[in-house]
Structure 1
Amino acid sequence: MAEKVIVVGGGIGGLTAGALLANNGYEITVLEASNEWGGCAAKFNRKEFLFPVGATLGMGFEKNGIHKRVMDYLNKPVSYQQLDHIMDVHFESGEKIGVLQDRQAHLEAIKSLFPKKSAAIDTFYNKIWMISSEVKKLMKNLPSLPPNTFSEWAFLLQSLSPSSLKLLPLVNKTIMDLLKSCTIDENDLFSHYIDGQLIDSMQTTSKQCQSILGALALDIYHEGAFYVDGGLYVIAGQLAQHIQDKNGSTLKKKKVAHVKRTRNEWVVTDQKGEEWHGTHVIFNVPVHSLKKILEPTLFQQLPIRFKKKADLPTWGAFTMYFALKEEGYFEQLPLFQQVISRDNNLIDGDHIFLSLSKKGDTLRAPEGYRTLTVSTHTETDKWFHMENYKTNKLQLEHKIIEKIKYAFPTIEDQIILQLSGSPKTWERFTHRPEGMVGGFPQTTRNSLFYSLSHRSPLKNAWMCGDSIFPGAGTIGASVSGYHVFRSITNYKIQL
């Protein structure tokens, strides 16, 4: 008889684990609280327009990329295009940096903007590329951290090569340490540009970003960045469909309220009292959610690291969504852009990320129109306690629109539909505590050996998602789901 696996949460991580397990004979049930698959990479519709709720820049579709490996293994096609000119980064002072896929072209373009720092920038990027090259050797096998069993330690050691020793001195270093070693000051505009890249992927800036993971994040654009037709929610839909094709159950609007263990099985109960029983349970939710849904005696058995991190705040997002009339000048612009203020906080509109739908992507907009998703980091707690919620929301909307004009000067003439969402909105639709997104900032205290493992000390209870190693984004979530799959199957199958 097939082992039964219950997946709590239909985000990318849980769906990856579920689809891979279903493909290998496990009986899968996925319980999703919302009405959409994908979690922070889901979608919603208004009128004839479709909006990805969060990030839409695709990574992991390059050769040996995790999404390509998973989707090829499952034989599930995804339509995407690699970008040569990935994005433009605008500064309020008027400078603009183009992020190019070709490493050398990108380096030369940046050095031309900062001629006085040319030699230092050259040294910095060569360090970044060296570190990233060593990390990518490890990524072929995708060892999990922190290793908790003999098998995980053995697999990690087998994945290392003699040149991996170059990474050891960098474990407790930050990206700012690398910048300063190249005589680049933290107040330089170039450092501010680096901060803008890191806040989106690592959820922190160069002062605290762990150097090894930060280097990989800065280099990953040059491995390949992709526009996915429709949006990244397509991956979630394909994974859910594969589970269904393998006779699994994928159930929406099933908000899990309680999880307990009885004898040799897990019992998962939703808010309406319906129960599911399984040999394994996979939690594809923020670790913060465990305090609410896991039986208290079981929660107390978790390691101190889990319990401490369950109390740590993470970022939220304030997002705006626009339906726009097509304009000719769109053709000259990259689909992804950033606007960065000189304010070092990089939150609440001082740093925004813009994602424009491609012309002809009728999954997102009818002919003659485009959709635009814009996001900025924000602190979650204040949105649940502020006195003048509507006023503050309107003020931030106005600030963001003014910032958008650096990329799209005539946007106000093109808007035919405008929506926005604060962390309160994110909590309502994704059911994540306080609408938190992105997982933990990848600082030296939260990353690598200080991460949370996918393996819990509770028998046959597993974790995946953006609060679990390796961290944020669809790549990180997918890798954590793969780690769960590999552990449940005892490393018998490698992608």
Structure 2
Amino acid sequence: MEYTDVLIIGGGFGGLTAAGLLSRAGKSVTLLEASNEWGGSAGKFRRGDYIYPVGATLGLGFQEPHGLHYRVFNHLGIPQPEKTLLTTVMDVHSAGFSIRVHADMDTHIQHLCRVFPEISDRIQDFYRLVAKTGDIFLSLLKKAPVMPPKTWRDWKSLLASADGRAAALVPYYRKTVTQVLGQFQLDKHYGFMQYINGQLLDSMQASADEAAALLGLYGLAIYHQGSHYMKGGLYRSAESLAAAVKTNGGQAVKRRTIEKIYRNNGRWEAVDKRGRLFAAQDLVLNVPVQALPSLMSDADFTAMGGKWQKRSRTSIWSAFSMYGTLTEAPADTPLFQQIMWGPENAFEKEHMFVSLSEEKDTLRAPGRERTFTVSTHTSPERWKNKASYDEQKQQTLEELKQILLAQTGWSGALTSLLPGAPHAWEHYIHRPDGMVGGFPQTSRYALFNSLSHRTNLPGLWMCGDSVFPGGSTMAVTMSGIHVYESITGSRFYKEEQI
């Protein structure tokens, strides 16, 4: 049996952040990852000379000095990852418009007004609120407050994080983004709503009709607070965090699949599929809540309480992905694109996100070749029929390929294309039913209604996209910070000031 102060299961950004901070604080830490790669949904896979990011690709939270990733790397004393600050975040295409999302907020607003001149005054008014919300949230996040607050310390932290401006956002707490847009008479404009929905689906996993207004407004602002192309991919940041764990005396081990966890005489024990036993005073689960019923004993899972049990039965979005290689691409090709279509190509949420490697990023592809990742939302229920799974996978690949090539004109340069259907996500990064991205940021699941990193069982903690603040590498990093603070009694932002 291997005993450690803290055992962490799952090497996504949440688990890696918790492991890095805890090991630096002097805790003995063992981090176990079931797959071959660090980073979880922001990891990578290799085919010959080519590397493909499996999911998350756009670098948010790496800006100096307030970006959360930047702060964690700085705190751990490890080099900041190689990256390029984007002046154009992405291009957005639909049948009715093409929009260039400029990193500079004022430039972006001016561009939107040119695309939709008939509603330009209302767009300016709405985006003033977006910018204001983004500034307030950025200030709040500096102190990484815990939600939902469960202790006096949590409440104290939350109140201390808020400044006087936060009171102006209170009227929007129970609203959806669509309701806020209605105040500006923008909710009936089809083209503008299509654009907003695409942005929110990628950042909040919810449309404007569903997304909680406060988080949705922040989701529209976040692209303008520092968006980066990450050289090689986000997986390199994950590998740096794993290396930091080892530098600080911890263990970080891949290909260790934990099959069961249980309490025994006041400590937590875990057994992997080869029968190896691990024990710790504190156990951190960087896994989806949907994985808990099979991982925990019936008694322990019952003790988690009704909220955790209900969420474990809640189905969320899965992803269908495509991974491709190009001989080359025009120099002005945007690195990130959103492509939207109408019901004539009725594939669920009617949009895809495309990320292309930077020219001469030889960490991704040799010479002038480029690799790309495409992802779109899909329901896990759509893929339950095993008899039709392979046929459906090929049909979906072909449908999305035609949409992609029609918009990008990459037909002549495309040399390979691989599908990534939900079962691949389940097999390679151990996401139940291939579900990724966390719960949609709706009033039902967000803020005070989110799951906490604290569980109802002593010494058991959660991080990752199932708990506050949700999906994205930046959000799960914050959940890792919360775990670190709860185990050590330290405050991350105060230590930064030392």
**2:316: which partner in 1?**
314
Check the 8 A contact 1:16/1:482 in 2, yes or no.
yes
**CA–CA distance in 1 between the matches of 2:216 and 2:310?**
24
Partner SS state of residue 261, structure 1: strand
**2:359: which partner in 1?**
359
Check the 8 A contact 1:349/1:403 in 2, yes or no.
no
Residue 127 of structure 2 corresponds to residue 128 of structure 1:
no
**1:48: which partner in 2?**
49
**2:468: which partner in 1?**
469
AA matched with 2:388:
N
**CA–CA distance in 2 between the matches of 1:196 and 1:154?**
36
Q: 1:468 to 1:309 in 2, by over 3 A?
A: same
State how 1:58-77 maps to structure 2 within 5 Å. Answer: 58-62=59-63, 63-77=65-79
- Between 272-281 and 337-346, the greater mean CA deviation after superposition: 337-346
State how 1:49-448 maps to structure 2 within 5 Å. Answer: 49-62=50-63, 63-77=65-79, 78-93=81-96, 95-186=97-188, 188-327=190-329, 329=330, 331-343=331-343, 348=348, 350-385=350-385, 387-409=387-409, 411-448=410-447
Deviation at 1:487, TM superposition (A): 1.1
**1:11: which partner in 2?**
12
**CA–CA distance in 2 between the matches of 1:343 and 1:166?**
39
**CA–CA distance in 1 between the matches of 2:400 and 2:186?**
30
Check the 8 A contact 1:438/1:472 in 2, yes or no.
yes
Q: 1:9 to 1:345 in 2, by over 3 A?
A: farther
- Between 335-344 and 147-156, the greater mean CA deviation after superposition: 335-344
Residue 458 of structure 2 corresponds to residue 459 of structure 1:
yes
**CA–CA distance in 2 between the matches of 1:131 and 1:176?**
16
AA matched with 1:59:
L
What's the TM-score, normalizing by structure 2?
Answer: 0.96
Check the 8 A contact 2:357/2:370 in 1, yes or no.
yes
Check the 8 A contact 1:186/1:192 in 2, yes or no.
no
Partner SS state of residue 92, structure 2: strand
**CA–CA distance in 2 between the matches of 1:334 and 1:203?**
23
Unpaired segments of 5 or more residues in structure 2?
A: none
Q: 1:313 to 1:349 in 2, by over 3 A?
A: closer
Check the 8 A contact 1:348/1:396 in 2, yes or no.
no
- CA deviation string 1:2-61 (max 9, x = no partner): 961000111110010000101110111111111111110110000110000002110001
Check the 8 A contact 2:481/2:492 in 1, yes or no.
no
Check the 8 A contact 1:346/1:377 in 2, yes or no.
no
Partner SS state of residue 303, structure 2: coil
Q: 1:166 to 1:346 in 2, by over 3 A?
A: farther
Deviation at 1:391, TM superposition (A): 2.4
**CA–CA distance in 1 between the matches of 2:343 and 2:18?**
40
Check the 8 A contact 1:132/1:212 in 2, yes or no.
no
Deviation at 1:457, TM superposition (A): 1.6
**CA–CA distance in 2 between the matches of 1:4 and 1:472?**
27
Deviation at 1:249, TM superposition (A): 1.2
**CA–CA distance in 2 between the matches of 1:149 and 1:256?**
31
**CA–CA distance in 2 between the matches of 1:9 and 1:181?**
43
Deviation at 1:461, TM superposition (A): 0.8
Q: 1:206 to 1:467 in 2, by over 3 A?
A: same
**CA–CA distance in 2 between the matches of 1:492 and 1:184?**
42
Deviation at 1:334, TM superposition (A): 1.5
CA RMSD of aligned residues (A): 1.6
**CA–CA distance in 2 between the matches of 1:19 and 1:345?**
45
Deviation at 1:97, TM superposition (A): 0.2
**CA–CA distance in 2 between the matches of 1:415 and 1:492?**
49
Check the 8 A contact 2:6/2:281 in 1, yes or no.
yes
Deviation at 1:387, TM superposition (A): 3.8
- CA deviation string 1:181-237 (max 9, x = no partner): 100134521011000000011001000101111111100111010000110111110
Residues matched between the structures, number:
490
AA matched with 1:298:
D
AA matched with 1:37:
W
Deviation at 1:137, TM superposition (A): 2.0
AA matched with 1:86:
V
**CA–CA distance in 2 between the matches of 1:349 and 1:469?**
24
Deviation at 1:350, TM superposition (A): 2.1
Deviation at 1:268, TM superposition (A): 0.8
Unpaired segments of 5 or more residues in structure 1?
A: none
Check the 8 A contact 1:112/1:118 in 2, yes or no.
yes
